[in-house]
Structure 1
């Protein structure tokens, strides 16, 4: 079975830069535990756990319906095949001349009319500036185009084989799996992140972010955040100034190098805690 080091389709916030540290940290957790990916996203964390621990039960909360994009890969590959001749001869990341815009828009509109669906996130990764995404044709046609079109087709063969897919509110899923042999994978949208490419209509606000911390109480977990949120410092401050406990007390912390997209830069953070670990 192929081991993926990144999600087979573009996804905002996938944890590909953390995979090495994530896999190393998994070594301190049970090989046959139940791993519940509460904010499943692209499924990359769930895939990685199942690859490393084939006997583990891995549950992926596909709240954003990433599975629909995976199922549409054959159609997305057809769309990319129609775009490649248009950008032929242009350098990688070169801005498309205005004369080519009607050609691009025509291919995309024709494809949407024919198949009734366009994976605009994947399309954005092929034609928009890095980190910039459109979610429908109206947004897409307003953007400036760049030649980032893939030269190879997408392929997700075997990607989530053996992983259980569910779709629902993370709180209900958490309540269903409060038992000793469960490890929660907690990767919510980053604080104040534009969540338009997720199944959400607004920014992920502070209250939403703080509510997630409830699932860390007395749990085995991996939790992902960034230095932009300052959530770790906030919890430390609350612990020292109030009688409220710190959910990160005793957790191990790792960071990656700075991530940069078209309008921001930040450092990713992974915290994990295994209650049964001798440390």
Structure 2
């Protein structure tokens, strides 16, 4: 939802094709922000910190599609779409997954087979849940060229960002897991806890683009920092905030926030 705002901010603050700039997608996720940054500023150095191994998933799209096809065929008409599978149907799908001689993407499997929003860390945990027929009906498109020109690395943010702290043309793009939310989908159970949040806030400096949500405590925390003049409060003074209203369900409404300063 923030992609257009992200592009506008970069275009307004980085001249031309971005030559001489480094854009660090610190919590790279799917690589979408890295992809967008490289497309609009092609001569900038764009670093995609792929902590969760998303680039590896992109390499294996053909195998992910092959497993999807087998699972979808096996469900057939035995279970209506978005309904709970029978024990017999689940057992057949578990067998297909276990026997599949290829890449098994846990994120995709969870989205196809678990009740909406459920996340798991292992195949064994996946098999403990009831299965639901949410299997995608069509293949994922290939991702050729998606990360062309982007540097893909895997590093912790607290060792990556200090390397560029003194470079005024290094933009910190910060989209961390939201504090105080469930984070089972990340590689480490403590991937982004309170200590990491405080560490990130204290090494942030302009220019930065920081994403967060009212589902976390980020906005309240930086307001507290400025009111009480604690720690790294100056870097958030006079920062610009963009708010987008969002909803996870009919009743689950919240605000997504983008805070930036150049």
Q: Which moved more, 1:43-52 or 1:265-274?
A: 265-274
1:144-180 per-position Cα deviation (integer Å, ceiling 9, x unaligned): 2222212222222211111111111112221222301
Q: 2:46 aligns with which of 48, 53, 58?
A: 58
* Structure 2 partner of 1:158: 145
- The TM-score, its normalising length taken from structure 2, stands at 0.88
* Structure 2 partner of 1:229: 216
Q: Structure 1 residues 68 and 249 mapped into 2: Cα distance closer, same or farther (>3 Å)? A: same
Q: Structure 2 CA distance, aligned partners of 1:142 and 1:75?
A: 24
SS in structure 2 of the partner of residue 198 of structure 1: coil
Question: Unaligned regions of 5+ residues in structure 1, if any?
Answer: 1-16, 275-279
* Structure 2 partner of 1:28: 12
SS in structure 2 of the partner of residue 59 of structure 1: strand
Q: Structure 2 CA distance, aligned partners of 1:130 and 1:21?
A: 28
* Structure 2 partner of 1:132: 118
Conservation of the 8 A alpha-carbon contact between 1:193 and 1:204: no
Q: Structure 1 residues 176 and 202 mapped into 2: Cα distance closer, same or farther (>3 Å)? A: closer
Conservation of the 8 A alpha-carbon contact between 2:25 and 2:47: yes
**Residue 147 (1) aligns with residue 147 (2):** no
Q: Structure 1 CA distance, aligned partners of 2:198 and 2:28?
A: 19
- The TM-score, its normalising length taken from structure 1, stands at 0.83
Conservation of the 8 A alpha-carbon contact between 1:194 and 1:203: no
Q: Structure 1 residues 174 and 77 mapped into 2: Cα distance closer, same or farther (>3 Å)? A: same
Q: Structure 2 CA distance, aligned partners of 1:228 and 1:246?
A: 24
RMSD: 2.1
Within 5 Å, give how 1:1-279 maps onto structure 2.
Answer: 17-30=1-14, 31-32=17-18, 33-89=21-77, 90-111=79-100, 114-115=101-102, 117-154=103-140, 155-178=142-165, 179-202=167-190, 204-217=192-205, 219-242=206-229, 244=231, 245-260=233-248, 266-274=254-262
1:65-90 per-position Cα deviation (integer Å, ceiling 9, x unaligned): 21222222221111101011123235
Conservation of the 8 A alpha-carbon contact between 1:35 and 1:183: yes
1:238-259 per-position Cα deviation (integer Å, ceiling 9, x unaligned): 3222454243222211122224
1:18-64 per-position Cα deviation (integer Å, ceiling 9, x unaligned): 21222222221214121011111111110111122222211111111
Q: Which moved more, 1:40-49 or 1:243-252?
A: 243-252
Q: Structure 2 CA distance, aligned partners of 1:189 and 1:243?
A: 23
Q: Structure 1 residues 34 and 101 mapped into 2: Cα distance closer, same or farther (>3 Å)? A: same
Q: Structure 2 CA distance, aligned partners of 1:209 and 1:145?
A: 35
* Structure 2 partner of 1:8: none
